[in-house]
Chains A and B, each alone.
Chain A
Amino acid sequence: MNQAVAHLDRWMGALATIAISVAGLALIGMTAVEAWQVFARYVLNDSPGWTEPIALLFMNTAMMFGAAAAVRSEAHFGFFIVLHSAPPPLRHVMAGIARLITFATGGVLALWGGQLMLDGWDVPMAGAALPQGIAFLPLCLGGALIALFALERLVRAPLPAALTGEAAPQRELKPEPER
């Protein structure tokens, strides 16, 4: 049992590392696209139309994958005072409900984000040679990851990171090892 939990922990940790790495790469991509926009506009005098939708796609990727990784490290903004002061049994129930809500919200984003993606797949994106539906891909994949990480926290039921000090929004600027 312990071995299975350790395996799960390792796999989920690897997945969270991949998620935050994808978000980091998307940030680099976004910078590159916008830097090219500046170069093309001021040096080549030819402002490309594709940079805006592509930069938005990168931004949404950084947002959703970064948000998913933050679900696992429980680093999202929140109000945890009541949770802090609740007696331990109630605390676990509250944390369980919070993770269940996070799981459900992630699921909703994945499912309906997927539906919106499929609905717009045959429509060309304005400004770029891509399907419009791809704009919803980060929402769909990120939502699925959010649901998965919330489910893992729900099943393993550790104390929330805000209570153990493992991760908190105020420390988001410091590098934290993915667990």
Chain B
Amino acid sequence: MGVAILFGVFAILLLIGVPVAFALMAAALATVLYLDLPAIVVVQQTAAGAGSTALIAIPLFIFAGEMMMRGGISDRLISFAAALVGHVRGGLAQINIVASLFFGGVSGSAIADVSAIGGTMIPQMVGRGFDRDFAVNVSVSAALVALLVPPSHNLILYSASAGGSISIADLFAAGILPALLMTSVLMSTAWILARRRGYALEAFPGLRAVLVRFIAALPGLLLVALIFVGIRAGVFTAIESAAIAVVYAIFITAVVYRGLTWQRFVETCLGAARTTGVILFVISAAASFGWLLAYLQVPASAVQFLQSVADNPAAVLLLLNVILLILGTFMDMAPLIIICTPIFLPVAKAFGIDPVHFGVILILNAGIGLITPPVGSVLFVGTAIGRISIGEALRTIWPFYLAALFVLALVNILPALSLWLPAALK
């Protein structure tokens, strides 16, 4: 009955329109009162949820990413990507995808990616004769890559939701090959569509231009190398590398690129503070919900249930993917990770699925949810930038959905895609 109250109240409040964080806390309060437990435990657990030191890296990476987004790095990354792949069929679409990979490595956020790269590339693509729906669909799909490359704060969120037991360095390394695979598959999709629609390509600017633009983009690109190598080599902790990332981002954008004015700095702080508030508050509110899940032995029941309906890891993985994809269409990324990790990770572990592998699968599923309606924040931002309706984008987005699902299937079937690099770098 306690489980029914916990999930029932949460679902009803969510449907009414109560924000996720408040619905989680209210459901926890109702359940605690039903179970005759001291109600203050909800506030204690909420405070404990916000007391985890592992979380400190998240707002710092958000801050650094926002700084890079507003400080002029995206223009240089786009320019470098243009020199590299502008001459490939689909020209600006290929530039868009490769620039998203580079920027994802700097920001670690899909929304920041589509705002920064899509904000620049979509108008340019439309100006060069690309259809608006194609420009939007390329941009929103390309933003998925940012979720997988370091310093993706969603991977840190997964680690924190798993109780901090999964190495962030392993997760960062695990996302790289799937991110590169996603980039290649999206580029191929764009190539086929561009050929069919007869889109233009850009002239190759020459090797000298490639080198010059690489040097201009290098300070930004070095950030991801600094973070990844620092954490991987055990020189810095994730928190320390996040702090270094912020200081470095301030230095690069303000001193080297001179793109960070005082007003932009203030906007950056306020934007990062709002994002931090929204994301961390869900994490904090979910702590009391998660505590009750454990108290009511929900993860153990989920394992038992799945063992009764499926008897091998492949079937369980398929089932988990379907559940996550469906949930992903309705829920935003952060709440999905926070709520699903404590329930589904024990299931994955019980069936011998590596937690790092499962983390990449979870992030990919939730990421696809970001570009699918009814709740698809990256899709919404992309269509707002492209000035088309969601319906117009959806009519032609299916090749990109297929591409993303193809990558998801490969990541599921081939654990080595996620697990080889972390093992090789140890």
Residues of A within 8 A of B (CB): 20-21, 23-28, 30-31, 34-35, 37-38, 41, 52, 55-56, 59-60, 62-70, 73-83, 94-95, 97-98, 101-102, 104-105, 108-109, 112-113, 115-116, 135-136, 139, 160, 162, 168-175
25 A–B pairs (Cβ distance < 8 Å), ordered by A: A24-B269, A56-B51, A59-B50, A59-B276, A63-B50, A63-B276, A66-B273, A77-B21, A78-B17, A79-B17, A79-B20, A81-B375, A83-B16, A83-B17, A97-B16, A102-B22, A104-B26, A105-B25, A112-B39, A112-B42, A113-B47, A135-B47, A168-B377, A172-B278, A175-B270
Give the distance in Å from the alpha carbon of A70 to the alpha carbon of B330 in the complex.
21
The residue of chain A having its C-beta at the shortest distance from the C-beta of B66 within the complex is A173
Query: In the complex, what residues of B have CB within 8 A of residue A172's CB?
Result: 111, 271, 274-275, 278
Which size class do B's interface residues fall under? 35 or more
Docked-complex contact B246 and A37, CB < 8 angstroms: no
Extra pairs beyond A66-B280, A98-B19 (5, CB < 8 Å):
A62-B273, A63-B280, A108-B29, A139-B50, A170-B380
Name the residue in B16, B269, B334 with the highest tally of chain A Cβ atoms < 10 Å from its Cβ: B16
Give the distance in Å from the alpha carbon of A172 to the alpha carbon of B240 in the complex.
26
Residues of B within 8 A of A (CB): 13-23, 25-26, 29, 39-40, 42-44, 46-47, 50-51, 53, 55-56, 59-60, 63, 66, 69, 109, 111-112, 115, 236, 239-240, 242-244, 246-247, 266-267, 269-278, 280-282, 284, 330-332, 334-335, 374-375, 377-378, 380-381, 384
Docked-complex contact A82 and B56, CB < 8 angstroms: no
Give the distance in Å from the alpha carbon of A76 to the alpha carbon of B330 in the complex.
15
Docked-complex contact B269 and A27, CB < 8 angstroms: yes
Docked-complex contact B14 and A78, CB < 8 angstroms: yes
Contact for A94 among B16, B111, B244, CB less than 8 A? B16
How close is A73's CB to chain B, nearest CB, in angstroms? 8
Query: In the complex, what residues of A have CB within 8 A of residue B20's CB?
Result: 76-79
Could you tell me the dominant secondary structure of chain B's interface residues?
A: helix
Give the distance in Å from the alpha carbon of A102 to the alpha carbon of B239 in the complex.
32
Query: In the complex, what residues of B have CB within 8 A of residue A28's CB?
Result: 269
Give the distance in Å from the alpha carbon of A38 to the alpha carbon of B280 in the complex.
24
Contact A65 B18, CB 8 Å, known A34-B56, A37-B243: no
Contact for A20 among B17, B112, B273, B281, CB less than 8 A? B273
Docked-complex contact A82 and B17, CB < 8 angstroms: yes
Docked-complex contact A98 and B16, CB < 8 angstroms: yes
Query: In the complex, what residues of A have CB within 8 A of residue B18's CB?
Result: 78, 97-98, 101-102
Contact A63 B281, CB 8 Å, known A26-B273, A56-B53, A76-B19: yes
Give the distance in Å from the alpha carbon of A174 to the alpha carbon of B271 in the complex.
7
The residue of chain B having its C-beta at the shortest distance from the C-beta of A52 within the complex is B53
Query: In the complex, what residues of B have CB within 8 A of residue A115's CB?
Result: 40
Give the distance in Å from the alpha carbon of A20 to the alpha carbon of B276 in the complex.
11
Query: In the complex, what residues of A have CB within 8 A of residue B42's CB?
Result: 108, 112
